[in-house]
Structure 1
Amino acid sequence: MIDELTSRQEDVTVLRDTARAQRVVIDDLNHRLKNVLMVVQAMARQSFRGDRPLDCSMSAFECRLRALAAAHDLLLKRTTQAVPLRDVVAATLAPHDPGNGRVCFSGPGLTLERETALAVAMALHELLTNAAKYGALSTPSGRIAITWQVPSEATDKVRIEWKERGGPPVTVPVHRGFGTRFIERTLACQAAGGATIRFEPDGVRAVFEARTQPD
């Protein structure tokens, strides 16, 4: 009788723990879905504008969706919350520079939270798309260097720098482009960071920050 009662108590405990675990998973999925919808909403707002032809807007939106899907593929392959920054950079660069011959990257071994990793991937995709159309990747001699570092021990953010060289001469645009605004908004909302993009004569320089995963 005692053994039967103990067994029933254990069964109730298992069911309760299972229900709690399921709730955690559901809450996490809801949180991630809301984040994805926020990103897609921002992508749509930036892609579809009244002063652009519909086919150009649709093309930009589809490219962003593919980049978002690729970034999520990377994140879903991870079994932990932490994502190595180096993996994020390498996966984002792969479609744009298959042989790793024109874009080099270096920095310490840091990890990012999933949402932050997604924001960084989308920001890099925007920069790569712009470089392929107008910047360093639009000419055979163009090169891009991506470096990152933690400015000091007192901060939990990584400083990522993007620098183009060897492309066409750069002129400062009259108006801030939708790509620039998208990068700023994505990093601010998803990565608790910010971005600065400068149109230097020898190539675009972008510096942005993103929150790192605590040790």
Structure 2
Amino acid sequence: MSDDATSSLDDVMTLRNMARTQRVVIDDLNHRMKNILMVVQAMARQSFRCDRSLDCSMEAFESRLRALASAHDLLLAGPSRHVAFFGMVESTIAPHDPGNARVSFSGPPLVLDGETAVAVAMALHELMTNASKYGALSTASGTVTLAWTFFPCPDGGRVRLEWKERGGPPVKPPLRRGFGTRFIERTLACEAHGEAAVRFEPDGVRAVFEAPARPA
């Protein structure tokens, strides 16, 4: 085979590989966009309710949009499609606790894939918002503790994150499950292939998440 023929064959193979890579990127982008639109649709339906004013609805919706945008910013911060768990927690909490005085968090260094990181960040945002309005962070002395552990599994491993509020007003179980609780459970289950449970204990809300993760 001549050098020209070999060069032409190499060019064809290169173009084919580029086309496959482009298709993978496009398919991944389409999948992510569909997921984002589904999340935004759910946020809009629950934010704009007949039992609250338009201003309150707009405030809730815009807050959730900002949290969603911040969560996706995490995916663009590094060269890989994985997100450091500690950094995700820190950036999600920062707007609600600027001085790092009310919320403490600890756990081993882990990484999450992109969709899992966004789902966990949105769930934490809902908990932070509720704590600021009605829970431990609505009082001068209330605190929140976040702690996570890692469990190796045949498929890679899982992180178990526990949220606990203390020092806030006495907690009573709600008469109906609110958007925050439903959103947390749905997001972790559908988007992150994980689990979530929110418990309204008398001394403060407790939430437990589980989601796929791996050591950093």
Deviations 1:36-94 (A, max 9, x none): 11211221122122322222122111100000001111111122122121111011011
Q: In 2, distance between residues paired with 1:153 and 1:16? A: 37
- CA drift of 1:194 comes to 2.0
Task: Please show how residues 19-58 of structure 1 align to structure 2 within 5 Å.
Answer: 19-58=19-58
Q: In 1, distance between residues paired with 2:215 and 2:85? A: 13
- Report what 1:5 is aligned to: 5
Query: Would the aligned equivalents of 2:162 and 2:206 in 1 still touch at CA under 8 Å?
Result: yes
Amino acid at match of 1:133: K
- Report what 1:85 is aligned to: 85
Q: Structure 2: 5+ residue runs without aligned partners?
A: none
- Report what 2:177 is aligned to: 176
Task: Please show how residues 119-138 of structure 1 align to structure 2 within 5 Å.
Answer: 119-138=119-138
Query: Would the aligned equivalents of 1:82 and 1:213 in 2 still touch at CA under 8 Å?
Result: no
Query: Would the aligned equivalents of 1:113 and 1:213 in 2 still touch at CA under 8 Å?
Result: no
- Report what 2:203 is aligned to: 202
- CA spacing shift, 1:213–1:151, aligned 2, 3 Å: closer
Q: In 2, distance between residues paired with 1:17 and 1:193? A: 34
Q: In 1, distance between residues paired with 2:65 and 2:110? A: 26
- Report what 1:100 is aligned to: 100
Q: In 1, distance between residues paired with 2:30 and 2:142? A: 42
Q: In 1, distance between residues paired with 2:215 and 2:99? A: 33
> With structure 1 as the length reference, what TM-score do the two structures score?
0.93
- CA drift of 1:151 comes to 4.7
- CA drift of 1:152 comes to 5.8
Query: Would the aligned equivalents of 1:184 and 1:194 in 2 still touch at CA under 8 Å?
Result: yes
- Report what 1:149 is aligned to: 149
- CA spacing shift, 1:151–1:2, aligned 2, 3 Å: closer
- CA spacing shift, 1:150–1:214, aligned 2, 3 Å: closer
Matched-pair identity in %: 67
Q: Structure 1: 5+ residue runs without aligned partners?
A: none
- CA drift of 1:213 comes to 4.5
* Count of equivalent residues: 215
Query: Would the aligned equivalents of 2:195 and 2:210 in 1 still touch at CA under 8 Å?
Result: yes
- Report what 1:188 is aligned to: 189
- CA drift of 1:23 comes to 1.0
Secondary structure in 2 matching 1:78: coil
Query: Would the aligned equivalents of 2:110 and 2:215 in 1 still touch at CA under 8 Å?
Result: no
Secondary structure in 2 matching 1:72: helix
Q: Which runs of 4+ in 1 moved over 4 A?
A: 151-155
